Structure 1
Amino acid sequence: MKGGMASINGLLFVLWVFVLLHSTAIEAHGEEKLVGCPQHPDKVIKLPGQPSISPPICHFSGFITVNASHGRALFYWFFQALSNPTHKPLLLWLNGGPGCSSVGYGAAVELGPFRVNNKGNGLDHNKYSWIQEANVLFLESPIGVGFSYSNTSSDFINLDDKFVAKDAYSFLLKWMKRFPRYQGHDFFISGESYAGHYVPQLADLIYDGNKNKRNHFINLKGFIVGNPETEDFYDSKGLVEYAWSHSVISDQLYQQVNHACNFKLSNWTRECANAINLLFEQYKEIDIYNIYAPKCTLSRTSSLPTSSSSSRSSDDKVKLRRMRILGGYDPCYEVHTEAYFNRDDVQEAFHSKSPIRVHWQSCNNSIFEAYNYVVLTVLPIYTKLIKAGLKIWVYSGDIDGRVPVIGTRYWLESMALSLKTPWRTWYHNNQVGGRIVEFEGLTFVTVRGAGHLVPLNKPGEALALIHSFLSGNSLATKP
């Protein structure tokens, strides 16, 4: 009997110690210590065709009102990290265009845990998802993109980089109130293409906003951008030189463009615009965003402009420079995602039904056409945020013809940053993954064989890249 009582007392002591330790952990970390997928009004129970995965994917979606008086709201899709979400960083992903959806591209095609299948009727598991490294937040921005909307028509006339950054900043402050457990997490911003403008400008707004004690502090640590539009002169120069060096255009057309165009001018001449149109015509038969990928032969569900932009005013310099983001390894994925996200059952499960009924598109061409392109370079922001000590990485898929690696290398050179570690090879699975060079305050990485959408074309390399960026562990420089 005494032995039995001793065993019971011992068991009670062990239970008491467990409860004490568990309580202490909860007290120390608040709700952050809770495991599993928390209950929340925005929680997505299951999307149609969602595969069963172990551990299960925990995700949320919905609208955040960024301007109540105008009826402006942005749509998001958020995924909790697969493991240890309480300590993993929070990563925001933005797509570009302007006018292209981060749900339709980043989440459902590139780096989310689900990819719309090639029939558009379900989802496949993406084993290379970035939620292995972070809690990932996808934002459809600006208004008019994807499910995001405004009840005020004049908002669409005023769309520019500043408008977009302010709305995105307002979104983040309000989103963190809705999800307070992520308030103190290390926060990073990522994106590609025209998000090369969005990302640094949002980072700049957050950096300045953190100085204002009336605002909620966002624990911004840095940003990473892929094949980013950054500086118009160098991006345009790189586009032309890449087309010539990769046998897309003839020597004669190359000479014609160089004779007609001075990309340092804020407005192109008619002669230059016509020459650039001829250059884009050469890309009609191939994918400018991945010059070695096949073209899609399926009919699309939305009207897409031709790359030549021949219907536009020939001296409309800015719209000739900004092309929508199409293309990739599966050249027909835009058809599949539009079929899936326009389903009523998907939108019901996705919390995406809004007061304004819209036909969801991967890219909204009307936003691209209406956008006011007033910022021609974001390099001054790079200089400012490098001095502020933020972690900044730039990466380039080296077979992208739209924002080629050549142009990116030109603007990096123009910054005259001190060299920290010289140009060298990095490896993935015992093969050359690309090249890497480290400057004081900025790291540049190329991804071999990737186009404009690096996480789609080279998912394993992209996952290794984001792991290195977030963790601080170096990419492999030996096979």
Structure 2
Amino acid sequence: MLVHRLRRGPGAGPVPGQGLRRQPHPQRLRVEQTVNLLFLEAPVGVGFSYTNETADLGRLGDRVTAQDSHTFLLNWLAKFPEFKGRDFYIAGESYAGHYVPQLADLIYEGNKAAGRGRIINLKGFMIGNAVLNDETDQLGMVEYAWSHAIISDELHSAVTRECDSFKEEADGGRPGKGCSSAVRAFMAAFDDIDIYSIYTPTCLSPSADDASPAPRPSRLVAAPRLFSQHEAWHMMRRAPAGYDPCTEAYVSRYFNRQDVQRALHANRTGLKYPYSPCSAVISKWNDSPPTVLPVLKKLMAAGLRIWVYSGDTDGRVPVTSTRYSVNAMKLRARARGGWRAWFYRQQVGGWAVEYEEGLTLVTVRGAGHQVPLFAPGRSLAMLYHFLRGQPLPPASTPR
């Protein structure tokens, strides 16, 4: 098997744990077949990826990212033909809710006209805390903040009323004059906590011995329309994800070490800017459709295995957003796969529901925006069952 892992946003990438040390896994899962992980930094400008043409940075968007990733895969498989024909899966989180389905769609369409040696054996994909549908994503954020006591009854009422529950104008939505100020007040409610993990402590200032220059803030170049019109939305603190609230500071320091870059064969050209978990190089995003739900429905109908999972302590793309988005597709829950708890090591790992159309929705209890960082054991169990095409364990019996 081959799993292709995409980054989580136009300017953001996954954040490893503190110290980047090997950690013994609490439970080893037997895997009968080797699974190779292919990690791609895309689009150009994130991580250590770069372009020789400065103009490329002005052409970025969803379409270019999908095309570049597809071209990369075809060229990579041509260079390493031993991987051709293997079952192929894609995975990603956050804005990869756009990246992954769009790439899967391009592969699906490309396979129709491809010769035998150019077919990518795509079987399915999984996306976590995924940006799927602007209207329900935004409404779900507000509902989550209210239900978790982050905003008041009055602010909840003001945002949903003045912003017309975030309906798109094409669907008859009519935001009121008070929408802008209500959204601004909503964002201010997260000033002192980590929106990506609402129960994680924030990182306190490092000691003088560990002090390092603060990374330059970067704009969130792809964001829902009613939120993205506010400068505060783009410049919201890039709160670190993980149990250690200072993870992001460790990562920046680690990947900017020359010995680390040499070991990774990274930054061989000597980039003019430092590595940062969220790139400040990308300042423009040309296309970002308000929804990818039609793409999901198309690929379900094509028979792909699709899992959408959600860490339930994330306030940025919360479980309420995901559930609203999935419900908007009007899928039919399987008779024996309705909403239920799933278990890991005799504890509830979260909840899940399977749909007749081929999609599975999974929640991961107590995990924030980047689920594998918060819940590595449960994440591995989820991946294991996804790749095998098996339902998550429905009972607390030991494995």
TM-score by length of 1: 0.72
Judging changes above 3 Å, is the alpha-carbon distance between structure 1 residues 322 and 202 closer, same or farther for their aligned structure 2 residues? farther
SS in 2 for 1:294: coil
Alignment of 1:316-335 (within 5 A): 316=229, 320=233, 326-335=240-249
- Distance, in Å, in 2 between the alignment partners of 1:226 and 1:315 is 22
Note closer, same or farther for the CA distance 1:315–1:364 as it changes in structure 2 (3 Å cut): closer
The reply on whether 1:336 has 2:250 as its aligned counterpart is yes
Partner Cα separation in structure 2 for residue 218 and residue 384 of structure 1: 18
Q: Say if 1:116 and 1:469 are closer, same or farther in 2 by CA, change over 3 A.
A: same
Q: Tell me which of the two structures has the higher relative contact order, counting C-alpha pairs closer than 8 angstroms and 6 or more residues apart.
A: 2
Aligned to 1:195: 96
Q: After the TM superposition, which residues 206-217 of structure 1 pair with which residues of structure 2 at under 5 Å, given as runs?
A: 206-214=107-115, 216-217=118-119
Query: Which secondary structure state, in structure 1, belongs to the residue aligned with residue 315 of structure 2?
Result: coil
- Give the AA of the match of 1:101: G
Match of 2:105, SS state, is: helix
Q: CA RMSD in A?
A: 2.7
Q: Do the aligned residues in 1 keep the contact of 2:344 with 2:393 (CA within 8 Å)?
A: yes
Among 466, 471, 474, the residue aligned to 2:383? 466
Ranges in structure 1 where 5+ consecutive residues have no aligned partner:
1-88, 110-114, 308-312
Q: Could you tell me which residue of structure 2 aligns to residue 91 of structure 1?
A: 3
Q: Verify: 1:361 aligned to 2:304, yes or no.
A: no
1:409 aligned partner: 323
What one-letter code is carried by the residue in structure 1 that aligns with 2:379? A
Residue 342 (structure 2) aligns with = 426
Distance 1:126 1:187, change over 3 A: farther
Task: Look up the equivalent residue of 2:215 and give its one-letter code.
Answer: S
Q: Are positions 1:386 and 2:293 aligned together?
A: no
Equivalent position amino acid for 1:450 in 2: A
Q: Distance in 2 between matches of 1:475 and 1:315?
A: 37
The 5 Å alignment of 1:255-404 reads 255-262=157-164, 263-265=166-168, 271-298=178-205, 301-304=214-217, 316=229, 320=233, 326-355=240-269, 357=271, 358-367=273-282, 369-404=283-318
Secondary structure, counterpart of 2:338 in structure 1: strand
Partner secondary structure for residue 351 of structure 2: strand
CA distance in 2, matches of 1:341, 1:272: 41
Counterpart CA distance in 2 for 1:474 and 1:317 is 42
Match of 1:477 in 2: 394
Check whether the contact 1:130–1:466 (CA below 8 A) recurs between aligned residues. Answer: no
- The superposition leaves residues 46-95 of structure 1 with CA deviations (integer Å, 9 ceiling, x where unpaired) of xxxxxxxxxxxxxxxxxxxxxxxxxxxxxxxxxxxxxxxxxxx1111112
How is 1:201-240 mapped onto 2 (pairs within 5 angstroms)?
Answer: 201-214=102-115, 216-240=118-142
Residues 375 and 417 of structure 1: is their aligned pair in 2 closer, same or farther, counting only changes over 3 Å?
same
Deviation at 1:269, TM superposition (A): 6.5
Alpha-carbon distance in 1 for matches of 2:148, 2:240: 20
Q: CA deviation at 1:356?
A: 5.1
Tell me: CA distance 1:249–1:185, structure 2 relative to 1, closer, same or farther (3 Å).
same
Alignment CA distance shift 1:318-1:197 (3 Å):
farther
Counterpart amino acid of residue 183 in structure 2: I
Deviation at 1:125, TM superposition (A): 3.5
Taking structure 1 as reference, are residues 270 and 332 closer, same or farther at Cα in structure 2, changes over 3 Å only? Answer: farther
How far off is 1:429 after superposition?
1.0
Residue identity opposite 1:391 in structure 2: R
Q: CA deviation at 1:314?
A: 8.4
Does the CA contact (< 8 Å) of 1:433 and 1:448 recur in 2?
A: yes
Q: Which one has the largest radius of gyration?
A: 1
Taking a change above 3 Å as real, the CA distance of residues 244 and 306 of structure 1, as seen in their structure-2 partners, is: farther
In 2, Cα distance between equivalents of 1:195 and 1:314 = 19
Deviates more, 1:130-139 or 1:184-193: 130-139
The structural deviation recorded for 1:134 is 2.2
* Equivalent-residue separation in structure 2 for 1:342 and 1:126 (angstroms): 26
- Provide Cα deviations, 1:114-163, integer angstroms capped at 9, x if missing partner: x551xxxx633363799977211111111100111112222112211001
CA separation of 1:210 and 1:389: change in aligned 2, threshold 3 A: same
**Distance change (3 Å), C-alpha of 1:297 and 1:306:** farther
| Aligned AA (2:309) | Y
Structure 2: which 5+ runs fail to align?
207-212, 221-225
Pair 141,378 (structure 1): closer, same or farther in 2 beyond 3 Å = same
Alpha-carbon separation, structure 2, partners of 1:200 and 1:322? 27
Structure 2 distance, partners of 1:154, 1:403, is 31
How many positions carry a matched residue from both structures?
372
Post-superposition Cα deviations, 1:414-463, rounded to whole Å, max 9, x if no partner, equal 11112212111111111111111000110111111111111111111111
Distance 1:315 1:220 in 2: 34
Distance 1:453 1:348 in 2: 27
Contact kept? 2:25, 2:377, Cα under 8 Å:
no
Answer whether contact 1:97 1:325 (CA < 8 A) is retained. no
My pick for the range that moved more, 290-299 or 164-173, is: 290-299
SS in 2 for 1:436: strand
Runs of 4+ aligned structure 1 residues displaced above 6 Å come to 128-133, 267-270
More strand by share: 1
Indicate the larger mover: 451-460 or 200-209: 451-460
1:198 & 1:216 partners in 2: Cα distance? 21
Residue identity in the other structure for 2:278? C
Question: SS of 1:124's equivalent?
Answer: coil
Q: Deviations over 1:164-221 (max 9, x none)?
A: 1011111111122232211121100000001100000000001111112257111100
**Is 2:121 aligned against 1:184?**
no
Matched, 1:252 2:154: yes
Q: What is the match of residue 22 of structure 2?
A: 124
Q: 1:411 to 1:161 in 2, by over 3 A?
A: same
Q: Secondary structure at the match of 2:339?
A: strand
Distance 1:306 1:203, change over 3 A: closer
